[in-house]
Amino acid sequence: MKIFFILSVFLTASFATTATTLVVRDKLFSKAIQSAKPGDTLIIKPGYYKPRNVIINKPLTIIGEGMPTIDGENKYELFTITAKRVTIQGIRFINTGKSTTLDFAAIKAYDADGLCVLNNRIIDAYFGIHISNTSHATIVKNYISRTSTENSETSIGNAIHLWKSDHALIEQNRVSNHRDGIYFEFVTNSIIKKNHSEKNLRYGLHFMFSNQDQYIDNEFVNNGAGVAVMYTHSVTMTGNLFANNWGASAYGLLLKDIRDSEVNHNRFINNTMGIYMEGSSRINFRNNEFNGNGYALRIQASCDQNVFEKNNLKANTFDIATNGSMVLNTFEKNYWDKYEGYDLNKDGFGDTFYRPVNLYSMIVERIPVSILLWRSFMVFLLDRAEKNFPAITPENLLDNKPSMKPYDFVSSRK
Amino acid sequence: MTAMLKYVLQDVLRARFVIFYTTFMLAVTILLFQIDGDSAKVVASLLNVALLVIPLVSIVFTTIHYFNSYEFILLLMAQPINRKSVFLSQYLGVATSLCLSVLIGIGLPALVFGAVSQVLPLLVNSLFITIIFVSLGFLASSLTRDKAKAIGISLLFWFYFTLIYDGLLLWVIYTFNDYPLELPTLILSGLNPIDLSRILMLLSMDISTLMGYTGAFFKSFFGSNLGMIYAFGVLSLWAVWPLLLALRRFKQNDL
Amino acid sequence: MISFHRVNKTYGKLKTLSEVNLDLKMGHCYALLGPNGSGKTTLIKSILGMVIPDSGEIKINNQTILGQFIYRKQIGYMPQIGQYPPGLSMAQLFDMVKGLRPEVRNTDNELIETLGLQPLMNKRMYSLSGGTRQKVSAALTFLFRPSILILDEPTAGLDPVAVEILKQKLVEEKKAGKLFIITSHILSDLEEIVTDMIYLFEGTVRYNSPVEDLKTETHEASFAKAISSLIKNQDLQIKELVTP
């Protein structure tokens, strides 16, 4: 069966003329691009296309009308962009080829400064959007997911993948069922905002060597291992939700070798571990909400000069776990729901300190099976004794000014 | 037997202590719901009541009731009825009354505050614990003819199941740390009804978020049909074997 | 009738019944006497099946009672101390006991009337005095018109009027040819009723014969004096125990 393509070729605004509509065959898809002039706008009419690999090597705006479908027939990479100032908008990409050596993607771009990818749907791609060596890329409102149930990490690529880029904006995308939802490596001065990343096999966001970035108001839910931020300095993480990341090595947020960063106004809900951090320094954690996590925070001994201030810790099984005895981090004015002190001078802060490290958490850490005795009367007595006469838990790891009441972050941020 | 049961029930339900016990649980539960609207936290707090207070009250009340009813049991024994019916009517009377206390004390507030589904696992476990410790109370009573001694044995049972056993279990876990302990601990936890109940409760509460490999094993086990049959089977065994032993002693002993 | 054939019972090292042989006949009223710990209560409880002998056999109307319970239809038992479920009202108590034997329609409610229990029917058992509870015990004993009556210290705690009423009842029932076994410390209370005397000491039957024979033997006219005289005339062991 022959498949016809309806392709409209517009002259762009710079030429300010009317558009012409072309009916072309499959193989002529590339021809349309060849014949277009830099800066032209191509409108793809509603339909179903199988163009094989399309190479876009000049600045073009390609807009789908009524969400046309482009099928890679499980064999081909779809759009390969090698030019600057390309815009791809309103197209449904499906079934790219899968190759571990070539990293096939629905949209792959390199050296494509000013790339704009808007409102596309990418289903069953190996990689969704794969960008390298690009400045000022804008990736907004795309939906990227897989329907396949095949779940090995090697046969699935990332949904949004950026390598060695800068000044990117990733906003309001929904990504799911990929290896990593959003992958950043050597991407600097960029913003990741209001994205929703869910049910990815590995990380909702995987972030390495990417300095001076911000990620704000994103939701990372039910990913295999949560979110990993590694080998980076000067990151700002604000207003994000990290929820329901369950598993032996699943974290709401994994911080490894991070320094001089801000973690504010985030919510960590029902994770096996809210935040796991090692080798990290000079990070401020303020106004975060930790609720219903197995461990709210796990701070390895290699962390220092971090400040935890005015956070809410509620209904977590264990508040803080650590493998060190030295106290190199500061805890102050946090609300701990397990605090049982009093406030005689009515300044809103408890008059006695709070020790957030539970003895039993240290036992559980060494012998996971012993979790079975959690909440037994014996463990309660052990913990009471340890709280009053610390022998094993770090004596000086304490919050000197625990807040009597939980903070209301919702209204304070608005 | 049903004729006796009816009156044993009427008697026990009017006991000042049972009324106090019901009121106490009712007050605690309502208070917890009012202090904290989060029913998960309420359940966590009630867990302590369920695992400490309920066994203690059930076993001690049973023992005291048995000895206070001793003379009356003698009177009944002079009637043309067999010992088994006398014994079972006493058992069912006490167990039913204390279960009613639990249902009213915990179940009713849960109903009022609209948290039945969250409280249900706790309620089911509390009922099991009640029945099991009433059985153990009758066992303690059948072991001696002396009231004070029987109360001592009851307290020892309670102390053993709430504290000593867990200490031993922790010691075992600590000592044999290098071996795979999932299956042994699963079996060992079945030897203590309080532990088994607690684990069932934990799996519906915070442990699920906490669990790495070990928890995954228990969660998948108790989450399966087989696991549920095992758990409630073992709990039922705990209700039945002390009762049968006590009944045997009651039938053979001189009164 | 009740017969004991070589009945033995030991609690630990203590022999409470030793080779007891007895034949208790209908129409007789036996006074069961003996110092504390002589085995009186054990004897009574073994008839009721509450105590199971180590060896020997107890038969009622030539039927062994071991492992049986139906035979207790014939027995009325009045315990020394009547403890009742404190939460029940007296009416509930009577209903409950009647409920155990629904086949007996024509219950004997005479003592409920004569002992004045009827007005107290709605009182809870915990609110009743010891004497009233004893009256309840007495009323329950006769409720099912049993042919064998076992009364353990029936007059203890009763006021003189009630004692008199109870005695009247006993006299009447005796006339009907029933078998009585009564233990009592207050010997004078039994005078008019008792036909036979059984004296137990350290688990053995030391004396068992009709009161008339006893009176003749001891040359005493009254029952109480005859017994005292009997005890005096027994061997040293008994004297040591009886005289403080």
Residue A28 pLDDT level (bands cut at 50, 70, 90): low
User: With contacts defined as CB-CB under 8 Å, which chain A residues touch B194?
Assistant: 376
Residue A189 pLDDT greater than 70, yes or no: yes
pLDDT at A14: 37
For A217-271, write each residue's pLDDT tens digit: 999 999 988 899 999 999 999 999 999 888 777 889 999 999 999 999 999 998 9
Chain C CB contacts of B77 under 8 Å are 48-50
Task: Read off the tokens for B249.
Answer: 């002693």
Is 60 exceeded by the pLDDT of residue A23? Answer: no
DSSP classification of residue C186: -
> CA-to-CA distance for A162 and A184, rounded, in angstroms?
5
Judged by CB atoms closer than 8 Å, whether chains meet at A377 and B216 is answered as no
Mean pLDDT of chain C: 84
Q: What is the mean pLDDT of residues A29-56?
A: 85
pLDDT digits (tens, 9 = 90+) for C141-190: 999 999 999 998 888 888 889 988 988 888 888 888 899 999 876 667 67
Structure tokens of C143? 């409720």
Of A248, A294, A378, which has the smallest distance from its Cβ to B209's Cβ?
A: A294
CB contact under 8 A, C101 and B15: no
Q: Which residues of chain C are within 8 Å of residue B81 when distances are taken between CB atoms?
A: 69, 100
Residue A378 has pLDDT above 70, yes or no: yes
Residue C140 pLDDT > 50: yes
Instruction: Give the pLDDT band (50/70/90) at residue C195.
Output: confident
pLDDT for B177 equals: 84
Mean of per-residue pLDDT scores for chain A: 87
Q: What's the first-to-final CA gap in chain A, in angstroms?
A: 58
Residue A359 has what pLDDT? Answer: 84
**pLDDT of A153:** 65
**Residue A384 buriedness (CB in 10 A; 0-12 / 13-18 / 19+):** exposed
Closest-approach residue (CA) in chain C for B1 = C100
What domains does chain A contain, in order, with CATH numbers?
A: 1-224 (2.160.20)
User: What per-residue confidence (pLDDT) applies to A6?
Assistant: 43
> Position A279: which residue type?
G
Q: pLDDT for A96-117, tens place per residue?
A: 988 778 889 999 999 999 999 9
- Residue whose entry in the numeric block shows the structure tokens 């199988």: A50
- Can you give the length of chain B in residues? 255
CATH number of C24-40+66-198+205-242: 3.40.50.300
CB of B189 closer than 8 Å to CB of B196: yes
Quick check: C51 and B74 CB within 8 A?
A: no
Confidence (pLDDT) at A336: 94
**Is pLDDT above 70 for C241?**
no
Spans in chain B with pLDDT lower than 70? 206-216
Which pLDDT score, from 0 to 100, does residue A403 have?
Answer: 94
B197 min Cα distance to partner chain A (Å): 11
Q: In Å, how far is B154's CA from the nearest CA of chain C?
A: 22
B209 burial type by CB count under 10 A (0-12 exposed, 13-18 middle, 19+ buried): buried
CB-closest option in B12, B74, B81 to C87: B12
pLDDT at C4 over 50: yes
ipTM: 0.81
pLDDT of A54 over the 50 cut: yes
pLDDT score, position B212: 57
Domain range annotation of chain C:
24-40+66-198+205-242
**Chain A residue with the nearest C-alpha to that of B45:** A375
Query: Measured between alpha carbons, how far is B46 from B29 in angstroms, rounded to an integer?
Result: 7
CB pairs under 8 A between A and B: 101
List the end-to-end C-alpha distance of chain C, in Å, as a whole number.
37
Least confident of A70-79, A373-382, B19-28: A373-382
Residues of B in contact with A316 (CB under 8 A): 206
How many angstroms separate the CA atoms of A34 and A49, rounded? Answer: 18
Contact A72, A46 (CB under 8 A): no
- For the cut 70, the answer to whether the pLDDT of residue A132 exceeds it is yes
**pLDDT band with cut points at 50, 70 and 90 for residue A274:** very high
Q: What is the pLDDT of residue B106?
A: 93
Q: Which of A91-100, A293-302, C199-208 has the lowest mean pLDDT?
A: C199-208
Residue to test with chain C: of B1, B4, B10, B11, most C Cβ within 10 A: B11
